[in-house]
Chains A and B, each alone.
Chain A
Amino acid sequence: DAKTTQPPSMDCAEGRAANLPCNHSTISGNEYVYWYRQIHSQGPQYIIHGLKNNETNEMASLIITEDRKSSTLILPHATLRDTAVYYCIVRGDTGRRALTFGSGTRLQVQP
């Protein structure tokens, strides 16, 4: 699976959009980009995933560049409850593979 690079930490003002970048320059054609978050000591929570097209759900939007070498997770209106560690993970659709978590980005939403 391709390696990902994320900034270790970011701040965002409450009510503003939070844009979390992820670099995955070695991604291959059949690899998906997944985003999870972990709030304090809870279990990680699935947010969204995509292959090449931009995706949106009730939690967030995922923007993947045309060359697929990077992506951005967008939380449109960040709240204090969005303070968490956000993980960007790349994984191929190969069946017998599990997700590998890196260090993620610690997002602090400021009041």
Chain B
Amino acid sequence: DAGITQSPRHKVTETGTPVTLRCHQTENHRYMYWYRQDPGHGLRLIHYSYGVKDTDKGEVSDGYSVSRSKTEDFLLTLESATSSQTSVYFCAISEGSNYGYTFGSGTRLTVV
């Protein structure tokens, strides 16, 4: 979707290595979210942010950290990637709590 970009689109990494996924928006939306999607589990919330330096944990936050030093960027870091973190990661943005989300195209991460 226009206004939200995820990078990289695809990544293969080795177990134990650090990985950072980037979500960039040009909409100046306050709220940003990271989800992961696995077969049989649907979308699960990892972390979210309500503004610069204001982040909170979702239901599957273990093994992940996030940072938001600028409104437009929300970074998701896997400190030491594991095979269980092989997944498709989606970023979403929202103007506010009563607005719809706009999702990015996703990052397909494979940990070997």
Chain A residues with CB under 8 Å of chain B are: 32, 34, 36, 41-46, 49, 93-104
Q: In the complex, which residue of chain A has the Cβ closest to the Cβ of B91?
A: A43
Find out whether the CB atom of A45 lies under 8 angstroms from the CB atom of B103: yes
Known contacts A43-B106, A96-B56; is-contact A101 B101 (Cβ 8 Å)? no
The 9 residue pairs across chains A and B that have the minimum distance between CB atoms: A43-B103, A46-B100, A101-B43, A95-B97, A98-B48, A44-B103, A101-B42, A43-B90, A98-B45
Please name the residue on chain A nearest to B31 by beta carbon: A98
Number of residues from B at the complex interface, CB < 8 A: 24
Assess A96 versus B103: contact at CB under 8 Å? Given A41-B88, A101-B43.
Answer: no
Residues of B within 8 A of A93 (CB): 97-98
| B contact residues vs A (CB 8 Å cutoff) | 1, 33, 35, 42-45, 48, 50, 56, 58-59, 88, 90, 92, 97-98, 100-106
Task: Report Cα–Cα, A96/B30, bound state, in Å.
Answer: 12
What is the chain B residue whose CB lies nearest that of A46?
Answer: B100
Contact of A44 with B90 in the complex, beta carbons under 8 Å: yes
Contact of B42 among A95, A98, A102 (CB under 8 A): A102
Q: Flag if A42 contacts B106 (CB, 8 Å).
A: yes
Which A residues lie within 8 Å of B97 (CB)? 93-97
Q: Is the CB of A100 within 8 A of B103?
A: no
